[in-house]
Structure 1
Amino acid sequence: MAEETSSDFTPETLSNGEDTSPAIGLISQYVKDLSFENPNAPAVYQWQAAPQIDVQFNIGADGVGENLFEVTLKIDVTSKADEGTAFVIELKYAGLFGVRNVPEDQLQPFFLAEAPRILFPFARRVVADAVRDGGFPPLLLEPIDFHGLFLQQAQAQAEGQGDIPTPVGQA
């Protein structure tokens, strides 16, 4: 008779059939807020100098119900040339995540590293489309290593620099 082995990935099931294994799932994702400003149109389309692009981002997570969390990826982009501001875009792109049986110490790494990684490609497309719709070439944001940024921030806090408020990331 063969001996049965179990793996760490087998869901734990109670005798009543309840699944107690940890799970997180994306329920929905959406544009929460979008603003595109083109303050110097139509003159901006005559400018010859290449603009300087400044990209800032931030991540927030809020409980919105029992076992429900909203993770928001905020992206601010400013394009400036010598003549002035070409465009400004502000995007809040959010995802609604359902959480079940996840230890408390595992939530922050998920919300600040993994959830933004899931949301970023969609937010990136919204930014590119909005910039293109504003009359400029699409702006394709570089991929962001959210996991690496989270680890840097966690290490800084562990080394006693946690009193200084640091943004989750900047690009």
Structure 2
Amino acid sequence: MADNNENTAAPAAAGEGATDPAQAPAFGIAGQYVRDLSFENPNAPASLVPGTTNPASNVNINVQVKKQADDAYAVEIGLNVKTERDGKVLYAVELVYGGLFRTRNIPENQLGALLMVEAPRLIFPFARQVLAQTIQGGGFPPLMLEPVDFLALYRRNLAAAADKANPDGTAAGEAKPTVN
């Protein structure tokens, strides 16, 4: 016969390892949106006829952060795709997909990475889906984008900002991302 062991320890007294939930760091998404979406198929319907060579796509991704209030930030991923075959544009897509994020009690030195890495990582799958559906709706196979390493993108942008701030190559303190 198994014993039913219940935790009978008394709850911790106030101040003994208990933290005030109002002071705990918090990060969450309040909403998602499409701010801008443009699809161009300049050579339709000829662009839909299969060609002798495979099309090539050029994809550019950027992340922007805009402060909305003391605890709210809009994080937007810009995706620009241009697909060509034999020197002719098949289609061009521009998408700005965003999320509104709420923060509370996040240390300033962690806020940039949180907004430039974790926030876009959370909304990217939704942006990728909008992009794929838009391209498919234009008569083309959906573009299957690989996951993006937003941490590497963030680090590259920090290094570029540090190089720009110190063109003579001198050492500098930690660069901060621009949060508007």
Q: Normalising by the residue count of structure 1, what TM-score does the alignment of the two structures yield? A: 0.81
Which residue of structure 1 aligns with residue 6 of structure 2? none
Superposed displacement of residue 163, structure 1: 3.3
Residues in 2 aligned to 1:113 and 1:11: alpha-carbon distance in whole angstroms = 30
Instruction: Give the letter aligned to residue 40 of structure 1.
Output: N
Superposed displacement of residue 83, structure 1: 4.8
Superposed displacement of residue 147, structure 1: 1.4
Residues in 2 aligned to 1:140 and 1:109: alpha-carbon distance in whole angstroms = 26
Which residue of structure 1 aligns with residue 96 of structure 2? 92
Larger-Rg structure: 2
Which residue of structure 1 aligns with residue 62 of structure 2? 58
Q: 1:20 aligns with which of 14, 19, 23?
A: 23
Instruction: Give the letter aligned to residue 112 of structure 2.
Output: Q
Instruction: Give the letter aligned to residue 85 of structure 2.
Output: A
Residues in 1 aligned to 2:50 and 2:25: alpha-carbon distance in whole angstroms = 54
Residues in 2 aligned to 1:104 and 1:86: alpha-carbon distance in whole angstroms = 45
Contact 1:11 1:19 in 2 (8 A): no
Residues in 2 aligned to 1:150 and 1:128: alpha-carbon distance in whole angstroms = 25
Contact 1:26 1:97 in 2 (8 A): yes
Q: 1:113 aligns with which of 110, 114, 117?
A: 117
Is residue 2:85 matched to residue 1:81? yes
Superposed displacement of residue 152, structure 1: 3.5
Q: Deviations over 1:33-56 (max 9, x none)?
A: 100000000011124121110000
User: Quick one: percent identity of the two aligned structures?
Assistant: 39
Aligned length: 153
Superposed displacement of residue 149, structure 1: 2.3
Q: Deviations over 1:3-32 (max 9, x none)?
A: x99xxxx7731xxxx610111110101111
Q: Normalising by the residue count of structure 2, what TM-score does the alignment of the two structures yield? A: 0.77
Residues in 2 aligned to 1:77 and 1:139: alpha-carbon distance in whole angstroms = 9
Taking a change above 3 Å as real, the CA distance of residues 61 and 11 of structure 1, as seen in their structure-2 partners, is farther
Which residue of structure 1 aligns with residue 74 of structure 2? 70
Give the unaligned 5+ runs of structure 1. Answer: none
Residues in 2 aligned to 1:11 and 1:71: alpha-carbon distance in whole angstroms = 33
Residues in 2 aligned to 1:11 and 1:30: alpha-carbon distance in whole angstroms = 38
Give the unaligned 5+ runs of structure 2. Answer: 1-8, 167-176
Residues in 1 aligned to 2:165 and 2:143: alpha-carbon distance in whole angstroms = 35
Aligned-partner SS, 1:58: strand
